[in-house]
Each structure stands twice: as C-alpha cells, then as structure tokens.
Amino acid sequence: MDTQIGFNWRESVRLGLIGGLVALSLSLIGVVETFGGRGIISGVISLGQILLFGAMAGAGYMSARQNPHARTGLNLVGGLIAGLLASLPLIVLVFVAGPINLRDFLPNASPGLLKLLIFEQDQATGSLLLLAVSAVVGLVGAGITLLPGRVRHPLLMGLLFVLMVGLLSEIIILAWGTKGLGLKIRRFMFDKGLSIRGTLLVFLIVAGLNALWGALGGRAQARVSALPAQQQKVLGWGRIALGVLFMLVLPMILRTYLTEVINNVGLFILMGFGLNIVVGFAGLLDLGYVAFFAIGAYTMGVLTSQGELGVAGMSFWSALPIAVAASVLAGVILGVPVLRMRGDYLAIVTLGFGEIIRILALSDFLAPAIGGAQGILKIPKASLGGLEFVAPETLYYLILAACLVAAFVSWRLRDARLGRQWMAMREDEDVAEAMGINLVQTKLLAFAMGAAFAGLSGAIFATKLSSIFPHSFNLLISINVLCLIIVGGMGSLPGVMVGALILVGLPELLREFAEYRLLMYGALLIVMMLSRPEGFWPEESRKRELHEFETEPVLAD
C-alpha cells in the first residue's frame, strides 16, 4: 500500500478544472480582451494575460499546496496537469466559437478575444501553444511552492510589487513623472506599463529588501526584544514619532490627486473608528451608521452655509462642536429604543434608521430647511489662522488631526474600564449585567461615541465638498464602513486603516478599470473571507504584544 506517499491526482485535476473555469469566465465577461491592450510590462505581458495565466499558475500552486509531502517530481507533474487542464475550457471555446456564433448570448466571445487566446496564430498552432504555455505556467506555479521560504517570499513579494506598480503606472506617472527628475525616471522605468528595465528594478529592489529582512530581520527582532523594557518603550515611542512624521509629510510626497484619494480614505477611517467601537468593541450590529455621517454633514451645512439655506452663517470651528453634538444626540435617540434588542433585530432597526434619515433629507417636508434633492450649497471652507483648508494638501491635515484624535480616543478607551465593559457586553450580556455593568449606560455610550466620530467625519465632508446632497448618504456607505472593519479585522485599530486603504483607496486608484472595479471588489471580499476570515490585521496579535510584560514564564504543566 502506498497510500501514505501516494499523490492526490484527483485534487490536481479538480483544481485544474476550477482554474480553467475561472479563466473561461474571465474571458467571457470581457476582462481578458478589455485589458489585453493594457500593458503591465510593456511589450511582454498585459493585464489580460496576467489574469488569464494567473488562474493557471494558481491552479498549479494550489495543487502543489494540497500535496505538501509528495516527492518533488510528482508535484511538478501535478502542477503541469493542473495547468494543462486549466487551458482546456479555453481551447474548447476557441474551437466552438469558430463554427458557431456565440456572440448572440455571449457578447464578449469576440474575434478579438479568440485571437488573443491563440496568440494571433491559426487555430491549431495557437491551441497547441496555449496548451503548452498553460502547462508551463502550471508547472511554474507548482514549482514556486517547492522553493525554500527564503527564496519564495522575496520572489512572490517582488512579483506582487511589479504587478502593483504596473497596475498603478498611470497614476504613478501622473503624480511624479511629469517634470524634472521624475520625468527622467519615468522614461527609464515606464513605457506602456513598466518597461523591462523598470520591471527588473522594481523586482530587484523589493526582492532584495525582502531577502535582506528575511536573513537579518529575525536577529534584529530578537535583539530588540532582548533590550530592557525601558529602552523598548523608547523604541516604541520612536516608532510612533516616525509614523507621525511620515504622515505629516505625506501630502508633499503624494501630490494633489493621491492626497485627494487619501482624504477620502481618511473620512472613511474616521467613520471606521467610530463604527469599530459600536460593532467591534460593543458588538452592536449597526447598519444605519451613515445616518450620523449625514446628520454631522447637514448640521454643518445649515449652520455655516452662505446660501439661502444657511441660518447662522457660523464659521467651521464654531459649528463643528454643534455638528458633533447633534450626531451624538441622534446616537442616543437611536440607542434608547433599541436598548433591549440584540443581533439581527438591532441590525434591522438601525438599517431602518439610516433610511429614515436619508429619506427625510430628500423629502419635500424638510426641503425648506435643508434643500431636499437640491441639497445645501455654498458651505464655506474651514480656515485656521489664515490657512484655508481648500486644496487637498491642506485639507489633509484637518482630516489627519481628526483621525489621530479618533484613534487616540479609541485606543485609550479599549484598554480602559469602559472598553472592558463594551467587550464584556459583546461576549455575554446577561453575565456582564450580573457583573454590575450598567447595560443602558454602556450601550448608549457606544452609540454616542460611534456617532460622534461619524458626525465629525460628516462635518469635514460637508466643508470638503462645499455642498451636500441626500444621495451622498446612501446605504452603501454604511455597508462600506462595515466591510472595511471586517476586512481589516473586527475590533482592531490598524485594521480599520488597512481596511479603508483596501476598500476605499484601491477602488479609487483603479478607476481606470471602470465597471470591473466592483467585480474586483466583490472577488476580493470573497477570497478574503475564505482565506483570512479574521481580517488583514486582527486583534489577537495586538493582545499578545500588549500583554507580554504581564506574563510570567509558564512552567511545564
């Protein structure tokens, strides 16, 4: 019996076919053809091809991962088979699409796509070529898993960065490559996408740094943790100072367009911190969170607008506390009726609350006060000692300050008595109550605190845009904020930032890909939830870091 070292061929076949179906559907929804002309490495490979062959390489990679203990040769053959099979659906497509006109029901099965698939050769040669290339790609995919970690990590990292830089090449060129030194670097590195020189440069730098860290990082970390607690603390503060300094100079590095993107991300981070308190800490599922954002924005609008709807003509700074207070009040008003509700019921009621606020904003009933569908216009910019927060680069600092305050408050509260109250309530309401926790007060504080951050975000949003309209406050914002918390890691503060960068920042940068953006967004969410359900930057690791000094060594038991 050789079952122990037997190779799981069935798994290779299955993964190969899955890879093939992915490649086929990518082709048939038009992604491959649309991005066939979008070079990642100019003249070498296009985004369309990367997506296509990514499916095959993925099949080979996964097949080898499924058989970690098999002999190298067998694994390579498994990858080869997976790659081969992954091309089969495409070859079937090529041959079927010749005699039969598929375009009646599959509009994207165009001649252009077919030509692309068979490398612009005739049907027979092209198909064989596709078969061969897929097999090799599958083989390479499997081969990667067999490399030792210290080679594999730099390799994958390098490839990932090449892909990212290639993907974002247009934005990078726009931001930095228009004049002076930037122009020279651009000529060197970019053509249509990355040039070959640029590719090598990016790859070598990233892979080199990664390899260096792999070789020396462990030792460096060991030396840091060997330092006495006092020095480690200093080091920790140093790291924070460095981070703050980086954030301060960020707009100068990023230039206007990217700063604008970061500003949008910042507003979502701010909301994320707020909802993280409500959902992540206190476990109260709130689907109507956008309501508080809207109330903050509308309060700011009504109080400061210089148009006909403005009632007070206040400055940004004097209206800001009122806007936040209005959101807090709304948070408490929502909180009171839902005090006795849990889980799904709470989600439905808050969902309704969010919709009520949006519909009220849109209604004719309130139109005389807040403009209905016409919204509020002429909201003035904030200014501070002569500095007007108009350009994205200056507005950035306003948003940064708000985010830092929110992060600080969240961080302090998390490790305080109130944070423990929230978490205990999240874990078991009845027991928490028996421990002497006042549930009413604890819940209302969570709603109020969450609403305050959203109100702050809304107020800045209003002055940022100078005008606000009801359609800016739709359900999708609530969903987005919730998603970014989940993607980042429930309850985790760095997770909120990572989640916002991925779910708000990336789609903004990938505008070029128009309607496929949401597709990628959805695919990312699914892959993410399957492979890393705890989020990109989960809470647990923080705990171990943070409480390390409390642990005395555990003796063997």
CB of 554 to another protein, least distance (A): 5
Query: Is residue 308 involved in binding another protein (CB under 8 A)?
Result: no
User: Looking at 244, 308, 428, 529, which residue binds another protein (CB under 8 A)?
Assistant: 428
Comparison of 77 and 424: residue with beta carbon closer to another protein = 424
The span of 264-272, 468-476, 504-512, 546-554 binding another protein (CB under 8 A) equals 546-554
Using CB under 8 A, which of the segments 19-27, 56-64, 423-431, 506-514 binds another protein? 423-431
If one asks whether residue 421 binds another protein (CB under 8 A), the answer comes out as yes
CB of 551 to another protein, least distance (A): 5
Residue in 418, 482, 493, 500 binding another protein, rule: CB under 8 A: 418
CA angle at 505 for the pair 283 and 247, rounded to the nearest 5°: 90
User: Using CB under 8 A, which of 200, 409, 510, 520 touches another protein?
Assistant: 409
DSSP string, 362-399: H-SSSHHHH-GGG-B--PPPPEETTEE--SHHHHHHHH
Closest to another protein by CB, 98 or 533: 533
User: 461: Cβ–Cβ under 8 A, 6 or more apart, which residues?
Assistant: 267, 293, 296, 297, 468, 472
Among 248, 431, 519, 529, binds another protein (CB under 8 A): 431
Q: Does 543 contact another protein by CB under 8 A?
A: yes
* Per-residue DSSP letter, 56: H
Least separation in angstroms between CB 438 and another protein: 7
Q: How far apart are CA 526 and CA 267, in angstroms?
A: 25
How many CB atoms are closer than 10 A to CB 477? 21
Contacts of residue 519, defined as CB under 8 A and 6 or more positions apart, other chains included, come to 29, 31
Interaction of residue 339 with another protein, rule CB under 8 A = no
Least CB distance to another protein at residue 437 (A): 6
- Residue of 153, 255, 420, 542 that binds another protein (CB under 8 A): 420
Residue 553 CA to residue 550 CA, distance in Å, equals 10
Residue among 417, 514, 530, 531 that touches another protein (CB under 8 A): 417
- Is 552 among the residues that bind another protein (CB under 8 A)? yes
Residue 430, interface with another protein (CB under 8 A)?
yes
d(CA 2, CA 72): 16
CA-to-CA separations, 229 to 220, 234, 411, 540, in angstroms, rounded: 16, 9, 21, 22
The residue within the footprint of another protein, chosen from 11, 170, 393, 433 (CB under 8 A), is 433
**Under a CB-based contact definition with an 8 Å cutoff, are residues 90 and 32 in contact?**
no
Binding segment (CB under 8 A) for another protein, from list 263-271, 302-310, 333-341, 418-426: 418-426
- By CB under 8 A, is residue 423 in contact with another protein? yes
- Does 131 participate in binding another protein (rule CB under 8 A)? no
Contacts 24+ apart (CB under 8 A), 184-193: 190/42, 191/39, 191/42, 191/43, 192/39, 192/42, 192/43, 193/38, 193/39, 193/40, 193/41, 193/42, 193/46, 193/166, 193/169
Among 116, 379, 432, 444, binds another protein (CB under 8 A): 432
DSSP string, 382-442: PEETTEE--SHHHHHHHHHHHHHHHHHHHHHHHTSHHHHHHHHHHH-HHHHHHTT--HHHH
The reply on whether position 416 binds another protein by CB under 8 A is yes
Residue 412 binds to another protein (criterion: CB under 8 A): yes
Quote the least distance from Cβ 409 to another protein, whole Å: 5
Q: In what order do the strands lie in the sheet with 39-41?
A: 45-46, 39-41, 193-194, 190-191
C-alpha 334/C-alpha 448 separation (Å) is 9
* C-alpha torsion angle, residues 494, 498, 504, 507 (rounded to 10): 180
The residue within the footprint of another protein, chosen from 438, 527, 533, 541 (CB under 8 A), is: 438
Q: Is 472 in the site for another protein (CB under 8 A)?
A: no
Contact 347, 287 (CB under 8 A): yes
Comparing CB distances to another protein, the nearer of 3 and 551 is 551
Segment (H or E) for 533: none
Interacting residue with another protein among 132, 333, 356, 435 (CB under 8 A): 435
Is residue 332 a contact point for another protein (CB under 8 A)? no
Nearer to another protein, 358 or 414 (CB): 414
For residue 375, the minimal CB distance to another protein (Å) is 35
Distance separating alpha carbons of residues 305 and 483, to the nearest angstrom: 33
Choice between 370 and 432, CB closer to another protein: 432
Stretch that binds another protein, among 39-47, 217-225, 353-361, 545-553 (CB under 8 A): 545-553
| φ, ψ for residue 74, nearest 5 deg | -60, -40
Q: Which of 1, 181, 222, 554 binds another protein (CB under 8 A)?
A: 554
Instruction: Assess 122 for contact with another protein (CB under 8 A).
Output: no
Residue 434 in contact with another protein, rule: CB under 8 A: yes
Q: Is 236 in the site for another protein (CB under 8 A)?
A: no
- Can residue 502 be called a binding residue for another protein (CB under 8 A)? no
- Check binding of 325 to another protein (CB under 8 A): no
Residue 151 burial (C-beta neighbours within 10 Å; 0-12, 13-18, 19+):
middle
Torsion of CA 25, 26, 30, 32, to 10 degrees: -140
State in angstroms the smallest separation of the CB of 430 from another protein: 7
Q: Is 544 in the site for another protein (CB under 8 A)?
A: yes
For another protein (CB under 8 A), the number of binding residues is: 36
Which residue, 476, 542, 15, is CA-closest to 288? 476
Is 456 in contact with 270 (CB distance < 8 Å)? yes
Would you state the structure tokens that stand for residue 435, as one six-digit string? Answer: 């421990």
Tokens of 411: 């961080």
Kindly state whether residue 542 participates in binding another protein, applying the rule CB under 8 A: no
Of 159 and 275, the one with the shorter C-beta distance to another protein is: 275
Residue 500 CB burial class (10 angstroms; 0-12, 13-18, ≥19): buried
Q: Residues in the site for another protein, rule: CB under 8 A?
A: 408-409, 412-413, 416-421, 423-424, 426-428, 430-438, 445, 540, 543-544, 547-548, 550-555
